[in-house]
Structure 1
Amino acid sequence: MVEQSLPSPRIEELPPTYNTHSRSISQSSIETSQSEPSRPLLKQPIRDVVQSTYTRATVFGAIQRLWTYVRRRKVTTPPVSTAATKKASRTAEFDGLRGLACLVVFHFHFLYPYTKTITHGFGADLGDPVWRYPHQLPFLCLLVRGRAMVTLFFAISGYVLSYNFLASVSIGSNPTTNGFSRLGSLALRRWMRLFLPASVSMLLVMFGAFFGAFEKGRELKDSQWQHGWWEQHPPQFDMFRAQLKDFLEMWWDWQSPWQWRLYYSEYDPHTWTIPVEFRGSLVLFILLLASAGLKQGWRFGLIICVTIYCFASRRWDVAAFTGGALVANVHICQTSRRELREKEALLPLDSITSKSESRLWKYSITALKCLLLLAALYVLSFPDDGASKTPGFSWLNTITPPMYGKGKEHPYKFWHAFAAIFILWAVARISFVKAFLSFSIPQYFGKISYGLYLVHGPLLHSAGFALQPKIFEAVGTETKVKYLGGLFLGWMTMLALSIVTAHLFWKFVDEPLVRFAKWLERVASHGKGS
């Protein structure tokens, strides 16, 4: 009885999930085993065991068994839901939009010292060739209009910061447990999220300036290669103590929330947006808190009134923030209504509408959304300079609110903020635009966007300003083709260097500081951490 071998499985007992190919292989192997006398392994001669093992170990046999295993795994293994492994962000498309906008900011700052055409409108002065470049045309100019993209940054921040809170205070939710805790967390960590990474990057600039990393780039100023504008450049002191003192005085003035002027630091003039982001966030948090207990219609009206008031007070930057919150509130209301209609669409009367009519209605709505997006992008193309003489924009300049007239504020700031609000609404409501911005490349640039924004300026002022004249000398600037070729080589080089550096900054500075801020909040919270 001990020597009795285990019974071979019958063909009929194979699992029903086996496919035909694996079944035939299993059947042939079983029939072969059944044709041989059943003998215990220990009773078989060693020579037969070795020979049988060697026969099964041939290349063809191994491939055949591997193929059978793979086919069985395909059939028997249940598919893994991607939703379970990775939770998609509700605002993923805006992360991608932020990443692409940051690339445009890089383009703008790279070209800024070499040409003034990037801020001009097309055709303002047909007699001057500086107003007749293709990249000045509407829509195309958005590839180099960095100031418009910065305003878009502000609107995106307003949307993302307010979305979860507004969703939590909508109908049927409990704002006490969801919204207020989220809002308090954002308010507590906002200063650290904005100022800590920027302080690290500017501190590195301070050390680089002391050791002369920016002195070669200073030679670009007023040289034969500078045809654009010169912006603030890091200073160098003979004594490190004086360098540090200058930096700390700058830093204290720069991070102060008590002033509303735009602060252009010599250690990185592009960080003027960081205090603006912080002040706009604080105003937004107060607005959200004030609207928490209101009905949906009253909340909507309050946000509209505050946005209009900010525009009228020439606070276009804060208006972009509150405008982003306004769009988030509209999206939440539309989503709730659509879900309600889907739940109620169970009556037989819904089947009366033909599929062709439903498809036509869907295409018509999508076309209207695309037209709105194109119109908003056109307004976002409002030129920084010469708008009053630019064909297609002079009429917009005439209807600009008087508080953005000459000597008060630049008209483009109003129109850029106004257009950014409508762009946010359209981006999240056009499926193919939303899908494009959710691709891996825009999402990656969105992930490293803050790092790219912080490092590209110092890299351009150090390596870029020193390298570009060398490229011009090697390529030549006698013709426009050579000049553009030199700019293209410099742009490719500095873009690659900036992306690599931004990735490292994101990995070793930005992400650790985000985790540190969350850890500090967890430690300081009641009943959390230690």
Structure 2
Amino acid sequence: MWLTDLLRPAILTRGRGGKQQNRRTAYLDGLRGFAAFLVYWHHHQLWPRQNYLIMGADYIFENSWGFGDNWFFAAMPVARTFFTGGHFAVSVFFVISGYVLSAKPLSLIYSNDHAKLGDNLSSALFRRWLRLYIPVFVTTVAYFTSWHLFGIWTVSPNHEANFRDELWKFYVEFKNYSFAFRTGGEDWLSYNFPTWSIPVEFRGSLIIYTSILGLSRCTKNMRLLGMVGLIFYFMYIVDGWFGSLFMAGSLLCQLDLLARNDDLPRIFKIFERYKTPIYYTFFIVSMFLSGVPSHSRDYEVLLKSPGWKHIAFLTPQATWDFKWFYLFWAAVFIVSAIPRIWWLKAFFELRFNQYLGRISFSLYLIHGPVLWTIGDRLYVATGWYRPEHEINTPFLINAFPLSKKGPLGLEPSFLVPHIILLPFTFWVAEVVTKLIDEPSVRFAAWLYNKMKAPIEQQK
């Protein structure tokens, strides 16, 4: 029975248990899930087209509309986010994390329960590393084990000659990758490069926990001012863009908490009557900024990009990679606007987006391995192949050729493989959620409770 429950897709259990009432912040779960799908779609758009034309599809997708005299629909403002919105999605992840990680401790601060606040932060900090890194560790080991167990070839990374050497290579990479305060090396695992954001997620979590504790004894207004100050510091004084994203999520959480208690600072009352046009403006500006050029970190590229060159002067001096400044505002604006625009909120509360929210972490972790194994082979079969495929999988080349005509990003030869890829990736993500992600959360909580001293020994 347990194996059936593990392998049965959630879509086949629809209708069981009746309709459930969404939580107040259910829209955040849906937004996280939809953002995870954008990451999936971004990487699939770029992977098969690495030899597209002369410059590569990423040159077209990730530059502004009209850059280099390229006027493709997929690079148009707003439209581009739905083709290559992966960086925007990561920014949204960090704002949501800042919001969610802050919710409980901030509510304890405002209820003046500092004893429980200490317990909450202790538990959260203990569990956070385990919750983030256990799924990365297990899924990565399972991925490279499949190479040696089943003889699977992948374009990258290079496979070691035997499983023992592969384990050692992974150990060397993972021990450095999992150290939050490392000062060198790559930001990602060569086995799964989208996981670069996990160490950043952990560092952002540390910022949230320490800042909330540090500001816990401050007055309401001083706490708000302290959060704004940290956002400014991370973005404009040092190159800590991710810290700004996490702190912005925490600030939004605190403002929502104050709004529910009718305790917002008086300055917000001035804008109360204009809130609808303000939040629609936030939404529109967010959709434009979410398409910031991301193909190069060179500031000169921004100055040469149609549309963007007019606002390039806004980029802070401290920001090394300019895209994160614009994605900061895009992510903050969209997260703050969604609960105030009814149809947007309703969209992210749809059952399917809630489903994506549940499997979002696993989807983020496994979509790359699925792409580089099954996805790569399906794309080769429909006509998207490179020289290395002629050597390693020649029997698949054009096995089922389809047309590459049509708008860039929507060609039949690209879309048809997703009849298989999309449901399969969702199913694998769901299995990983049940088998690895959710158990890792329970394990971290169990371990904390096992190691925690009895109350009488904590005095």
Report if TM-score (shorter chain) is over 0.5.
Answer: yes
Q: Give the corresponding residue for 1:247.
A: 170
Q: Give the corresponding residue for 2:208.
A: 284
Q: Which runs of 5+ in 2 are unaligned?
A: 1-17, 50-56, 267-271, 296-300, 384-397
How far the C-alpha of 1:500 sits from its partner, in A, is 0.7
User: Residue 497 and residue 478 in structure 1: after superposition, are their counterparts in 2 closer, same or farther (change >3 A)?
Assistant: closer
* Residue 380 of structure 2 is aligned to residue 469 of structure 1: yes
Point out which structure has higher relative CO (alpha carbons under 8 A, 6+ apart).
2
User: Residue 316 and residue 214 in structure 1: after superposition, are their counterparts in 2 closer, same or farther (change >3 A)?
Assistant: farther
> Structure 2 CA distance, aligned partners of 1:298 and 1:425?
21
Q: Give the corresponding residue for 2:220.
A: 296
> Structure 1 CA distance, aligned partners of 2:142 and 2:164?
15
Q: Give the corresponding residue for 1:38.
A: none
Moved more, 418-427 or 241-250: 418-427
User: Residue 339 and residue 287 in structure 1: after superposition, are their counterparts in 2 closer, same or farther (change >3 A)?
Assistant: closer
Q: Give the corresponding residue for 1:516.
A: 443
> Structure 1 CA distance, aligned partners of 2:356 and 2:278?
29
Deviations 1:390-410 (A, max 9, x none): 322221223211223xxxx22
Q: Give the corresponding residue for 1:136.
A: 75
Q: Give the corresponding residue for 2:290.
A: 380
* Residue 102 of structure 2 is aligned to residue 162 of structure 1: yes
How far the C-alpha of 1:167 sits from its partner, in A, is 2.1
Given that residues 209 and 235 in structure 1 are in contact (C-alpha distance below 8 angstroms), is that contact kept between their aligned partners in structure 2?
Answer: no
How far the C-alpha of 1:203 sits from its partner, in A, is 0.7
User: Residue 471 and residue 525 in structure 1: after superposition, are their counterparts in 2 closer, same or farther (change >3 A)?
Assistant: same
- Output the amino acid matched with 1:490: P
Deviations 1:436-482 (A, max 9, x none): 21221111100000010111001111111122111122234564479
Q: Give the corresponding residue for 1:121.
A: 64
> Structure 1 CA distance, aligned partners of 2:264 and 2:310?
41
* Residue 50 of structure 2 is aligned to residue 111 of structure 1: no
User: Residue 403 and residue 365 in structure 1: after superposition, are their counterparts in 2 closer, same or farther (change >3 A)?
Assistant: closer
* Residue 314 of structure 2 is aligned to residue 399 of structure 1: yes
Given that residues 194 and 368 in structure 2 are in contact (C-alpha distance below 8 angstroms), is that contact kept between their aligned partners in structure 1?
Answer: yes
Deviations 1:70-103 (A, max 9, x none): xxxxxxxxxxxx9xx9674342111110000000
Given that residues 192 and 517 in structure 1 are in contact (C-alpha distance below 8 angstroms), is that contact kept between their aligned partners in structure 2?
Answer: yes
Q: How does 1:255-274 map to 2 (within 5 A)?
A: 255-259=178-182, 263-274=187-198
Given that residues 102 and 452 in structure 1 are in contact (C-alpha distance below 8 angstroms), is that contact kept between their aligned partners in structure 2?
Answer: yes
Q: How does 1:345-424 map to 2 (within 5 A)?
A: 365-385=275-295, 386-404=301-319, 409-424=320-335
Equivalent residue in structure 2 for 1:309, among 223, 233, 242: 233
Deviations 1:469-511 (A, max 9, x none): 1112223456447981101112332222110100111111111
User: Residue 476 and residue 432 in structure 1: after superposition, are their counterparts in 2 closer, same or farther (change >3 A)?
Assistant: closer
User: Residue 318 and residue 340 in structure 1: after superposition, are their counterparts in 2 closer, same or farther (change >3 A)?
Assistant: closer
- Output the amino acid matched with 2:138: V
Q: How does 1:7-406 map to 2 (within 5 A)?
A: 88-113=22-47, 114=49, 115-116=57-58, 117-126=60-69, 131-143=70-82, 144-170=84-110, 173-211=111-149, 214-215=152-153, 217-218=154-155, 233-259=156-182, 263-311=187-235, 312-337=237-262, 365-385=275-295, 386-404=301-319
Structure 1 moving runs of 4+ over 6 Å: 338-341
User: Residue 525 and residue 207 in structure 1: after superposition, are their counterparts in 2 closer, same or farther (change >3 A)?
Assistant: same
Given that residues 448 and 506 in structure 1 are in contact (C-alpha distance below 8 angstroms), is that contact kept between their aligned partners in structure 2?
Answer: yes
Q: Give the corresponding residue for 1:49.
A: none
- Output the amino acid matched with 2:262: R
Given that residues 61 and 75 in structure 2 are in contact (C-alpha distance below 8 angstroms), is that contact kept between their aligned partners in structure 1?
Answer: yes
> Structure 1 CA distance, aligned partners of 2:303 and 2:223?
37
User: Residue 213 and residue 97 in structure 1: after superposition, are their counterparts in 2 closer, same or farther (change >3 A)?
Assistant: farther
How far the C-alpha of 1:527 sits from its partner, in A, is 4.0
Given that residues 73 and 407 in structure 2 are in contact (C-alpha distance below 8 angstroms), is that contact kept between their aligned partners in structure 1?
Answer: no
**Partner SS, residue 318 of structure 2:** helix
> Structure 1 CA distance, aligned partners of 2:116 and 2:67?
53
How far the C-alpha of 1:169 sits from its partner, in A, is 1.2
Moved more, 116-125 or 271-280: 116-125
User: Residue 339 and residue 286 in structure 1: after superposition, are their counterparts in 2 closer, same or farther (change >3 A)?
Assistant: closer
**Partner SS, residue 203 of structure 2:** helix
Q: Give the corresponding residue for 1:434.
A: 345
Q: Which runs of 5+ in 1 are unaligned?
A: 1-81, 219-232, 342-360
TM-score by length of 1: 0.71
Deviations 1:85-130 (A, max 9, x none): 967434211111000000000011111221223212111233xxxx
**Partner SS, residue 68 of structure 2:** coil
> Between Structure 1 and Structure 2, how many residues are aligned?
400
Q: Give the corresponding residue for 1:451.
A: 362
User: Residue 142 and residue 260 in structure 1: after superposition, are their counterparts in 2 closer, same or farther (change >3 A)?
Assistant: farther
- Output the amino acid matched with 2:324: K
> Structure 2 CA distance, aligned partners of 1:196 and 1:331?
32
- Output the amino acid matched with 2:40: F
User: Residue 492 and residue 179 in structure 1: after superposition, are their counterparts in 2 closer, same or farther (change >3 A)?
Assistant: farther
> Structure 2 CA distance, aligned partners of 1:494 and 1:469?
14
> Structure 2 CA distance, aligned partners of 1:419 and 1:339?
24
Deviations 1:215-260 (A, max 9, x none): 2x42xxxxxxxxxxxxxx2332222221111111111111011225
- Output the amino acid matched with 2:285: A
> Structure 2 CA distance, aligned partners of 1:299 and 1:105?
34
Deviations 1:182-225 (A, max 9, x none): 2222111000110001110111122123346552x42xxxxxxx
User: Residue 196 and residue 293 in structure 1: after superposition, are their counterparts in 2 closer, same or farther (change >3 A)?
Assistant: same
Moved more, 479-488 or 270-279: 479-488
User: Residue 119 and residue 481 in structure 1: after superposition, are their counterparts in 2 closer, same or farther (change >3 A)?
Assistant: closer
User: Residue 402 and residue 212 in structure 1: after superposition, are their counterparts in 2 closer, same or farther (change >3 A)?
Assistant: farther
Q: Give the corresponding residue for 1:484.
A: 411
Q: Give the corresponding residue for 2:391.
A: none
Given that residues 122 and 391 in structure 1 are in contact (C-alpha distance below 8 angstroms), is that contact kept between their aligned partners in structure 2?
Answer: yes
